[in-house]
């Protein structure tokens, strides 16, 4: 009998671009890239749907291009989520074993996670992820997998991520309108981390910073688990807007200037010749010193990285991050950003590029596609996340049958 090849699909709906990707999980467990489709995103602002029809059309275009390139139908996909409505908190759930000294089972872990999920949240919010960080058994902490151990009182230390119900439902509706079903909803920085972080970076303490078009996503990892997540409402589009305003040039030209000539260090380009910058008047340009363009880029990136520094401080892990910072997203491709980030964050910084997938197209191997590729990695393996909260949201939109099938594998998802 020929081993079955499983197909996984991801849909990264960002403020700037929508990327649909397909891959196969080979019999040896390796993930092999199949196809991708990219479309400009319309209808999103800072990661949140503001125009349902335009967002749905962007998704449809990306999916059709992916299916056309790969010759396979997606059918369903893991979908990324971000936006300033995202919030997180660390909670603890407790369960007591009925038979003292009996062996712990996956059901006991589930009960502890259920207790953590029961922490009160506002009525307008929905739990997206419950991520177990570690367990405490009869006062012994730092346990990663208590199954098979004996004890009486089990505590689960968890990281709970929530989102605005309206924002989640609008995202689901935008995807549903295309005929595509949702396998799960995944927070963007968690997906990106799957593609660019190594196990050692998660263990020693690493910060994933994904600078997208409308938002900057932050996830702090320590001892192999996520400790803090946040979404900052600033991204690469704000750099482009600043350039357009300061240089009095159309936004499309500002975006091109940022990509082709932008730099985060004015001193590095001060000796280069000035740039001819188009104006709003046809066929007319004016000259701008390159270091002035760099000053505009630097100022906004300093603001964004300063807010990242605040999130690192809020996490309580500032002095424990031995692996430093890993930059992803389109903003990570800005010239000079690595050195600027090291200066502001006072940590070692590297640019994160997607790993863990075979035959990946060269055009998708950059940090801008970390979330899309991370969704494929996420879908190819069992992740330490209780997915049922997201499943409940999906069920509200007639995805109950798919979720019920996926729930059969929940026991495996409880282990870190």
Q: Dig out the tokens for 36 from the structure.
A: 């991708």
Q: Dig out the tokens for 255 from the structure.
A: 């975006």
Residue 407: pLDDT over 50:
no
Taking residue 409's Cβ as centre, other Cβ atoms within 10 Å add up to 10
Helix (H) or strand (E) holding 302: helix 290-315
Taking residue 125's Cβ as centre, other Cβ atoms within 10 Å add up to 17
From the CA atom positions of the chain, what is the Rg in Å?
22
CA distance 412 to 416: 10
What is the full DSSP assignment across 168-200? HHHHHHHHHTTT-EEEEEEEHHHHHHHHH--HH
**Mean pLDDT value across residues 324-339:** 98
pLDDT, tens digit, 9 for 90 and up, residues 234-281: 999 999 999 999 999 999 999 999 999 999 999 999 999 999 999 999
Helix (H) or strand (E) holding 208: strand 206-211
Counted residue by residue, the chain has a size of 416
pLDDT, tens digit, 9 for 90 and up, residues 20-64: 999 999 988 899 999 999 999 999 998 899 999 999 999 999 999
Instruction: Find out if CATH 1.10.10.60 is the number for domain 88-163.
Output: no
Higher-confidence residue of 399 and 43: namely: 43
Q: Dig out the tokens for 132 from the structure.
A: 């177990």
The DSSP secondary-structure symbol of 150 reads B
pTM: predicted TM-score of the whole model, two decimal places:
0.90
Any residues with CB less than 8 A from the CB of 51 and at least 6 apart, and which? 42, 43
Strands 181-187 and 76-81, how do they pair?
parallel
Residue 414: pLDDT over 80:
no
CA distance 112 to 126: 19
8 A C-beta contact, residue 234 and residue 351: no
């Amino acid at each position: 009998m020929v081993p079955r090849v499983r197909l996984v699909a991801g849909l990264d709906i960002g403020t700037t671009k929508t990327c649909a990707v397909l891959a196969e999980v080979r019999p040896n467990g390796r993930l092999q890239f199949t196809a991708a489709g990219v479309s400009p995103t319309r209808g999103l602002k800072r990661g949140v749907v503001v125009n349902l029809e335009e967002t749905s059309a962007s998704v449809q275009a990306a999916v059709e291009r992916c299916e056309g390139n790969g010759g396979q139908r997606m059918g369903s996909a893991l979908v990324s989520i971000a936006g300033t409505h995202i919030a997180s908190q660390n909670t603890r759930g407790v369960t007591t074993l009925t038979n003292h000294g009996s062996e712990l089972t996956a059901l006991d872990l589930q009960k502890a996670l259920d207790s953590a999920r029961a922490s009160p949240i506002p009525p307008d919010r929905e739990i997206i992820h419950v991520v177990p960080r570690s367990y405490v058994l009869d006062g012994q902490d730092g346990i990663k997998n208590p199954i098979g151990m004996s004890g009486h009182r089990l505590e689960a230390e968890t990281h709970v991520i929530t989102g605005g119900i309206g924002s989640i439902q609008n995202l689901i509706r935008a995807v549903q309108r295309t005929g595509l079903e949702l396998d799960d909803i995944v927070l963007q920085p968690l997906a990106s981390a799957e593609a660019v972080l190594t196990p050692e970076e998660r263990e020693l303490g690493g910060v994933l910073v994904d600078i997208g078009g409308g938002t900057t996503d932050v996830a702090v990892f320590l001892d192999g688990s996520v400790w803090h997540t946040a979404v900052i409402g600033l991204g690469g589009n704000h750099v482009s807007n600043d350039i357009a305003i300061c240089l009095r040039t159309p936004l499309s030209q500002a975006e091109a200037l940022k990509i082709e000539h932008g730099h985060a260090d004015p001193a590095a380009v001060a000796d280069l010749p000035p740039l001819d910058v188009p104006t709003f008047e046809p066929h007319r340009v004016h000259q701008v010193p390159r270091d002035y363009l760099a000053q505009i880029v630097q100022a906004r990136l300093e603001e964004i990285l300063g807010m990242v520094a605040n999130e690192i401080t809020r996490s309580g892990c500032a002095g424990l991050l031995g692996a430093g910072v890993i930059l992803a997203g389109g903003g990570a491709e800005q010239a000079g950003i690595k050195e600027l980030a090291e200066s502001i964050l006072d940590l070692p910084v590297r640019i994160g590029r997607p790993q863990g997938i075979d035959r990946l197209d060269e055009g998708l191997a950059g940090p801008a596609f970390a979330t899309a590729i991370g969704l494929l990695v996420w879908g190819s393996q069992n992740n330490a996340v209780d997915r049922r909260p997201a499943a409940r949201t999906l069920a509200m939109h007639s995805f109950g049958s798919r979720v019920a099938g996926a729930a059969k594998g929940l026991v495996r998802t409880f282990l870190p």
